[in-house]
Amino acid sequence: MTNTDLFSTGRIGALELPNRLVMAPLTRNRADADGTPSALMRTHYTQRAGAGLIIAEGTTPNPVGQTYPNIPGIHSDSQIAGWRRVTDSVRDAGGRMFLQLQHGGRVGHPDNSGLVPVAPSAIALPEGIHTPSGHQEAVTPRALSQNEIDSTIADFAQAARNAVAAGFEGVEIHSANGHLLHQFLAGNTNHRTDAYGGSIANRIRFTLEVVDAVIAAIGADRVGIRIAPGVTTNGIAEDDTDELYPALVTALAPSHPAYLHVVFADPETALFQQIRQLWPHTLIANPNLGWGVPLPADGGKAAAETLLAAGADLVSLGRAFLANPDLVDRLRIGAPLNPVRDTPLMYVGGPQGYNDYPTLDTDPARSAAVA
């Protein structure tokens, strides 16, 4: 029988979860300039330790993979130590964390990383990109050579080892939202004529090789993958989504990764249902609640329950966790939710719009509403 109870226990690999609500990875530009996680980040994640699982924000596995300013990394001793302070604090508060490994590919700029971005092909991001000096036109990336593909895969594997050393339970490989692995998947960003371009079998090769290398480094129980079928973020255009993702999911499954995380999942589509049928392991689904529009009053609870009824094992929520450090408790007792504040506050740095959302016990008006 399908379990639609968000507050029942769940599991990822060997890791037991106290509920089925996952905090989705949320880029918030609060790291130090060198990519070291800050004290603000430690506070932020510790406040949200009630999630069944926290997937920490996209974190670069090497310097050239950096997307925007103040994005965390996991490739230096300082970054590893900074993340260790975060995971220790979250664990002390009863939480569990995976780290999302995110290489930006062409989503980057020399003013952010000090390096020219790399990508499957030398095709620039169509929109501009934020830098320390403001919004700038994107630069044309360098197409990765075979040697650079090999070294990038090795960087992902080392980043996974670093994440485990930093206290994470595991890592999520970001093959979504227009970043490097997604750029290999999509035909408009991958014009290669070698073994990594052209056919679907070739375009999924890089993601498969990254996943295999990371599994070899830290074990399958510690590795998840995020995908975004049909999502056009960062200039992505797929003309074969319905064929691409079943092929990718089928090829990933035999490696026994801990989970697959599907972004903007629509339980009514044939593709979602096919992915569920093809994927024999834990499936995390992220509901499509719209971008640039207010969250529903329930923070996505009804959509989450619908996804569980459609076969998802766990459900990830983003903005609802941003605005409600105690989201699980609020949803469990039916308490009103904090609204999300102005979008610009998400990315400007500092505690405002990040660590200053009240919990029920610090907000007398909301506590009284459910007394």
Tens-place pLDDT, residues 331-350: 999 999 999 987 666 677 88
Report the sign of the C-alpha dihedral through residues 245, 247, 253, 257, in that order. Answer: negative
**Beta bridge partners of residue 35, listed in sequence order:** none
pLDDT at 252: 98
| Residue 133 in tokens | 């000096």
Q: For the segment 309-319, what is each residue's pLDDT rounded down to a tens digit? A: 999 999 999 99
How do the domains of the chain map onto residue ranges? Answer: 10-369
Q: Which portions of the chain are predicted below pLDDT 70?
A: 1-2, 343-346, 363-371
The predicted pLDDT at position 366 comes to: 46
Residue with tokens 């993601």: 207
Distances (CA, A) of 166 to 83, 161, 169: 6, 9, 9
Tokens of 302: 């009804």
Q: Give the residue from 219, 170, 174 showing the smallest Cα distance to 54.
A: 170
Helix (H, G, I), strand (E, B) or coil at 74: coil
Q: What is the pLDDT of residue 1?
A: 53
Residue 243 in contact with residue 217, Cβ under 8 Å? Answer: no
Predicted TM-score (pTM) of the model is 0.95
Burial class (CB within 10 angstroms; exposed 0-12, middle 13-18, buried 19+) of 312: buried
Q: Which pLDDT score is estimated for 345?
A: 63
DSSP E strand boundaries for 266-310: 282-287
Write out the CATH class of domain 10-369: alpha beta
